[in-house]
Amino acid sequence: MDVIVLGGGLMGTASAYFLARRGARVTLIERNRVGTGATVASFGNIRRTGRHQSQLPLAHRSLRLWGEAEKMLGRDVEFRATGHIRLIFDAGSLCDMQAYAQAARPWGLALEELGPREIRARFPGLGPDAIAASFSPHDGSGNPRLIAPAFAEAARKLGAEIIEEARVEKVARTGSGFLVASSKGVLAAECLLNTAGAWGARIAAAFGEEVPLEARGPQMGVTEPLPHRVLPVVGIWTRDKDYGAYLRQVERGNIVFGGAAERVTVDLEPGHACADPMRLPMQLRAVARLLPAIAKVAVIRTWSGCEGYVRDMLPVMGRSATTPGLFHAFGFSGHGFQLGPGVGDAMAQLITTGRSETPLDDFRIDRFCIGA
Ligand SMILES: Cc1cc2nc3c(=O)[nH]c(=O)nc-3n(C[C@H](O)[C@H](O)[C@H](O)COP(=O)(O)OP(=O)(O)OC[C@H]3O[C@@H](n4cnc5c(N)ncnc54)[C@H](O)[C@@H]3O)c2cc1C
């Protein structure tokens, strides 16, 4: 079977790898360098807490693969299962967390509930005013710079062709499959997988499939390095989006943070999302509630990235509803980093065997059609 993978972010490179592992002849085509879209901009959170329940089977599949990534890809992609703590500062948010934890348990996610004394003892320096927290011990983080190049390289070793810096001029259905004309030549294959991220809705529209997707950029920042003291990824349960911040400390000591700021709108051409410095003070105020020590530290860089947000905040994954042989995996709405390896594995299984052991029905592309 021949497959063209269009878009070389985490979803495209992971799909190319798992397709090649299943024996497909794969060509991945990327207009820039692999991993330089939303993937490289990611905060790197490998979290299941707070996910929509229908996403949890895919998130579990993905977490297993993150755990195997170093052996599988032959490179340390800095996956660390440090745990994920979410602090709680008010009674309403505590109720929200408890309701979520109860609903998520039958889906295989077990969250520990911590009281204030336990938080101080196990995680000194975090949230002095927190009244409770949830803790997910097997979650953690990975390095967003490393993962897509690692999948691309491993796919290449299995025989996949990875074409970078190629301007795609035409994507069309032919009698026997698909044709992709680009500045680096014309490709033909039986199947086409659309992993074009925030640009994925444009590809779908060319095949008569409309997806309500907006390109937006969450805002991130990183501090100077400090002694490595904060082990887990830290977030918050809150109904107040002005306080919806998160942070993690990388092993080199820098603290990476995000959230608590309106996402900037991004023009798909050229697709560069710019961080807005005016939003930084508000963001830092929210981060300081989680980690007061941040108030004394210098921020050395801020950035954003172009991500596709679907109206219902769920991705589009699965077969095209209009075109046999066309598959989609795009629109990961700000939370695709954790899902990436699982998405690649599930899409490769769907394309090569006709079914995915992980349910994907909630992510089907025609869910937005009237009457769907
Ligand atoms: C700032 C930020 C922070 C985030 N933090 C987290 C987090 O902590 N945890 C989490 O789970 N998720 C996070 N996310 C979301 C996560 O990073 C994304 O969901 C995920 O990386 C999407 O991967 P992708 O492969 O779909 O998209 P991308 O990485 O954007 O890849 C799509 C690729 O397609 C290419 N492309 C587009 N059109 C064409 C074309 N016509 N021809 C050829 N190539 C094309 C693009 O150049 C791009 O490289 C974050 C996102 C951002 C922006």
Residues 149 and 297 in one domain: no
Average pLDDT over residues 109-130: 97
pLDDT in tens, 331-344: 999 999 999 999 99
Average pLDDT over residues 276-304: 95
- Name the nearest CA neighbour of 27 among 48, 56, 6: 6
- Give residue 366's pLDDT: 96
Can you tell me the distance from the alpha carbon of 22 to that of 279, in angstroms, rounded to the nearest whole number? 46
295 CB burial (10 A radius; 0-12, 13-18, 19+): exposed
Residue 304 has pLDDT above 80, yes or no: yes
- Give residue 369's pLDDT: 81
What is the whole-number distance in angstroms between the Cα of residue 35 and the centre of ligand 1?
Answer: 8
Using 50, 70 and 90 to split pLDDT, how confident is the model at 76?
Answer: very high
Residues 152 and 278 in one domain: no
Which residue has the CA at smallest separation from atom 53 of ligand 1? 305
CATH number where 111 lies: 3.30.9.10
Contact 24, 161 (CB under 8 A): no
pLDDT in tens, 162-219: 999 999 999 999 999 999 999 999 999 999 999 999 999 999 999 999 999 999 999 9
- Give residue 118's pLDDT: 97
pLDDT in tens, 266-278: 999 999 999 998 9
Question: Which residue out of 42, 52, 145 has the highest number of ligand 1 atoms within 8 Å of its CB and is therefore the one to mutate?
Answer: 42
Can you tell me the distance from the alpha carbon of 267 to that of 273, in angstroms, rounded to the nearest whole number? 8
Using 50, 70 and 90 to split pLDDT, how confident is the model at 91?
Answer: very high
Quickly list H helices, the chain. 10-21, 38-41, 56-73, 91-104, 116-122, 147-157, 200-205, 280-290, 336-353
Average pLDDT over residues 4-32: 98
Range of the domain at 123: 84-137+219-304
Within-domain flag for 77: no
In sequence order, what DSSP letters do the residues of 202-250 get, joined into one string?
HHHHTTT----EEEEE--EEEEPP--S---SEEEEE-S-GGG-EEEEE-
Within-domain flag for 74: no
Rounded to two decimals, the pTM is 0.97
Within-domain flag for 75: no
Burial 45-69 (b: 16+ CB within 10 A, else e): bbbbbbbeeebbbbbbbbbebbbeb
DSSP secondary structure letter of residue 28: E
Residue 292 has pLDDT above 70, yes or no: yes
pLDDT in tens, 342-360: 999 999 999 999 999 999 9
Residues 14 and 133 in one domain: no
Residue 370 has pLDDT above 90, yes or no: no
Residue 295 has pLDDT above 70, yes or no: yes
Question: Does ligand 1 have an atom closer than 6 angstroms to the CB of 194?
Answer: no
Residues 159 and 292 in one domain: no
Find tokens 């082990």 and name the residue.
231
- Give residue 125's pLDDT: 95
Question: Does ligand 1 have an atom closer than 6 angstroms to the CB of 37?
Answer: yes
Within-domain flag for 78: no
Domain boundary among 304, 323, 344: 304
Which residue has the CA at smallest separation from atom 12 of ligand 1? 335
Residues in the chain: 372
Residues 225 and 282 in one domain: yes
Can you tell me the distance from the alpha carbon of 198 to that of 266, in angstroms, rounded to the nearest whole number? 10
Question: Does ligand 1 have an atom closer than 6 angstroms to the CB of 337?
Answer: yes
Residues 116 and 174 in one domain: no
Question: Does ligand 1 have an atom closer than 6 angstroms to the CB of 338?
Answer: yes
Within-domain flag for 73: no
Residues 198 and 239 in one domain: no
Average pLDDT over residues 210-233: 97
Average pLDDT over residues 70-99: 98
Residue 372 has pLDDT above 70, yes or no: no
Domain boundary among 304, 334, 350: 304
Residues 274 and 173 in one domain: no
Question: Does ligand 1 have an atom closer than 6 angstroms to the CB of 140?
Answer: no
Average pLDDT over residues 59-77: 98
- Name the nearest CA neighbour of 29 among 7, 3, 14, 1: 7
What is the whole-number distance in angstroms between the Cα of residue 334 and the centre of ligand 1?
Answer: 9
Residue 371 has pLDDT above 80, yes or no: no
Non-local (6+) Cβ contacts of 323 within 8 A are: 173, 207, 208
- Give residue 225's pLDDT: 97
Domain boundary among 304, 328, 343: 304
- Give residue 27's pLDDT: 98
Residues 154 and 250 in one domain: no
Q: Taking the alpha carbons of 341, 204, 263, 49 in that order, is the dihedral positive or negative?
A: negative
Residues 232 and 360 in one domain: no
Find tokens 């269009």 and name the residue.
6
Residues 48 and 148 in one domain: yes
Residue 24 has pLDDT above 90, yes or no: yes
Q: In the chain, what percentage of residues exceed pLDDT 70?
A: 99
Within-domain flag for 38: yes
Residues 233 and 298 in one domain: yes
CATH number where 320 lies: 3.50.50.60
Average pLDDT over residues 91-107: 98
Within-domain flag for 93: yes
When divided into structural domains, the chain yields a total of: 2
Within-domain flag for 79: no
Can you tell me the distance from the alpha carbon of 224 to that of 243, in angstroms, rounded to the nearest whole number? 23
